[in-house]
Structure 1
């Protein structure tokens, strides 16, 4: 055991404080077993934060209790070792006479740890033989033991005076309080401060602590063997690095050899190509010369009459064959296109039908869960009212408990009376007849049917960023009003303003606002950077919230860019300048998030079409149709870009009642910005027509009046609305 080792085996650094670099003074011990002077530890505590102090040696965090440094354990063993170390230094420096407790100027013979002084031979004999000093005899050390320098920790512990009670300074500590961290206490404390605590004898507690320490040390020694594994890992890592370097060098050499070989073969192939082409050219020239010679000879021999007849007949038959071939090609092309559209339409219809079925199953499950919860609440209220309280016949129970039961009945009755009107339509699955697929029977009129200014937009310097149309001929335009306000403007078909509201936004330089009709009078709208809300076109009431309040997945630098409605589930779909798309129910309760494919940078505008999501990726200069199932969407197809100029980017997308797709594209041509509306086939895979519009157009929407469909386009700065008939 280490306690039997001579005292001189300890290095001087063992007795040195790592803070002041001096010998310990009143050593205090941290939970990590590192010791520091009491004053040094007090300095560390004063500079610490959050009631935590870091050990300067191992950086382990130690909690500071309410009593501060006093609750840290005093290292009594170190104090005893320091005391004996001081004895040795006094002996080596011949400074014994000054430290004698006896008045006689005689030779020093021993040292008493209880008296804290050196003894002459006479005083030593009295300590050993007199009953008055019975308590001093076990704590007396002969000077010969000091000279020998072979004092062990076990022997020193026996010499050291037992600690005093931490409350009664004059009483010897005979017990240890386990409840207070093994504090030394006397018998008086059992009935006082430490009453009903867990206290034990020093011997019993020391034995138990020694056994536990041996077990812990054994476990630590066993775990130390794991260092072999670390050595093996280091060797393996070194071998891997060496092998990688060797293989890399080999592959590099092979690559250089192969490159040189290929370059040589490529040069040889180029030489052969040039030589072969030169030979072929010479042969061709010779043959052409011979043909020309024979042709001229034969032409001169043929009479002009037969030559004219032959040419005339050939020309007539060639023309007839060409016309017939063109007609056949046109018929075949139309049939192939129609067949392709029918196949794509059937595939899309199946996808839409599957999505509709899944959405209806989810909605039915939600209604079922809601009904189950109402039934459970009803059964709980009935059981509570009948069996728990009313059966007691106690008036105080009635007075205290019945109001709570009645309060629970009110919302329960409201939920029980709730009607699920959508149940009547959930069993219906809307499908289309493949025979009704139109290839190209919708055209945009060349001239706008009407154009009018939205009052106040241009004069006030406002912008239009979004437009929406309802079945009751309400047109809503939204956009930026100033650096702090956005606007929501409601107009009718004649351009007359019904109401106009300005809404204060978060601190931003571009409070752009977008909109989409959710129901007959409700408009869902979103504003940069993270606002979303519901607006009533009748009274202008607006309830708004922020994305980071309703979705934990919202990041600080993310911005809303667009929104639309799923016509089947009535869900709200919000796009951002990143790949994430957020799904909410019609009450703005967050449902889930869809991540767009990696090829898409962000969504500048979105809409739902045949169960898929159409995305305008402005930064990526592309437009896609992606799936809406699950949290990770996939690309179904990419829309064909119109050949209209440089830097062609999609701005806005919408569809009509026949499922034709319209995308507003922006481009630069001859140094000027242009806008073009492109109409795509119902399956989105074929570009049908392009039509130039006002260069300031930024958004569009589909509308219908008296059975006639129209396309409404809004300009960003000039505040104009253009309407085009879809015929």
Structure 2
């Protein structure tokens, strides 16, 4: 049945409605996937995802890059825009009402429409528009109402009446050219000397001819595919019928064979039952006979045992009486010996207390002397540091030449004196981080941007595990060695999200992402996962995990969440244990680790690293680690993104200088066990993401992995 709607309304409903706001397009913008939306609708999506450079089409989910200038950088769909203007113009003239003429300003019946003036004309002004020389450039853009309402007037004819689009940068100029380097946007001649200078410029007619030729060429390929698939569809139906016939024949043959086998088995079952009853009768007869024989035999054995039992009881009674007598004598002898031992110990205690008092007095005296020596050495260190800083700050070459050798000699003498008086300080001064000779290496199969790494962890056996995103909307957990070789890898289909992991025991890795927690066994790749909302009843629906750490001593798993000071604690069976709250000075965590019984937290809100006591329901701030003095740009800030510790309790922090996870500078700092001093700082690759330590070749090493491209750096801890 033919539709009763007018062509205008059909076009409006089918082609001119935005899928987002369900209204007629307002300044339609075209995505690379050829879906179009209102400019305002796309602007709201971009503002909602502020900072995200890649978004997905709301309809086909195809990804597209957000231009630097936002919605304005997307192409305007002039075809749909012309359709809408065509519809709006015809609707506005359907009622035949009087309207104000744009030329004489009188309210009269409409005779024509000028697309250059973009307004209606009365009968008199319509004639002037077509005859006056001053308006001769308006003639080709003017049309009568009769022609405009005519059903023979096509959209292409109407488009030819309109002016060329105006230049976006110079609205007073018409666009006469197109810039190929900027997605064929219309520009004016002035632009070729300005922002589009040195770009590939083409006349709009020439470029349109080229694009039409290219489209026709590509359509030929589509037509060939269409023919091929039509032929393939026909042959597939014939193969389908033959397949059904073959299967039906095979089914009949199998049913006959099955029926014959069932009959044979039923005959065998009947024979088996007959044999069973025959054997059963024989066994019951033998059983009754054997029972009678055993009963007679047991009567004789019982009488014999009763006699033996009486004899044994008499012997046991005599033996016990003799042993009790000997035990009493032994106890008396032992008690006498212990009393003598107590007297000896009392004498030894008296001698020890005398020696204790003497050693205590001597030890206190030695400690006071050591304290005074430390004060003296510290004073000399401060004096040398002040002198060195003043010489370096003076920038006077003569001062440097004359004074620096003396200062260096004084420092050397002080170092020798410290090592002689305090030999244990040598270990402290020897701490440094040096990159291994074979570093860096590429993790096998991860040297492209489709793979990412968000965490790295290791166990005492030297196993190394990295986690992150994999291609095709997957997550991965990968076991590697220090040379980047993949030993085992598992992928999980699901949304790509920050995926973190840390060893919770010798072979199991605790993993977290979104609002999930799991355990992965690296031996057989077995994996269990739970939704935290199913474990903790008051877990907020919009809460997501941000980092994870483990306490191998107490078998605890610590989970930090985004935008909250709460730390949730689970056991190694993923059962909820308790929670505690971090101090108010921290909220957004990049990473955390348990080192020497304390929780070390990297906080991005206040850009610091803190040592937190985990006792009680609220953590106590024990120490703030000093930030490294590193070179950075004027507007950048320094923020910690990863932390770990070695077997000696030294702390390592990966610092970032710049915006969050944007390409910028990265630095690796080494701290004393209490976190109060920076021992060393060195620059590392700007794509560095996370760190850990591992024992390899009987030596503890520091591992650093990049977020993208899968590069693994190995550092020797000396």
The TM-score bracket by the shorter chain reads 0.3 to 0.5
Instruction: State the TM-score, normalizing by the size of structure 2.
Output: 0.40
Q: Which has the larger radius of gyration?
A: 1
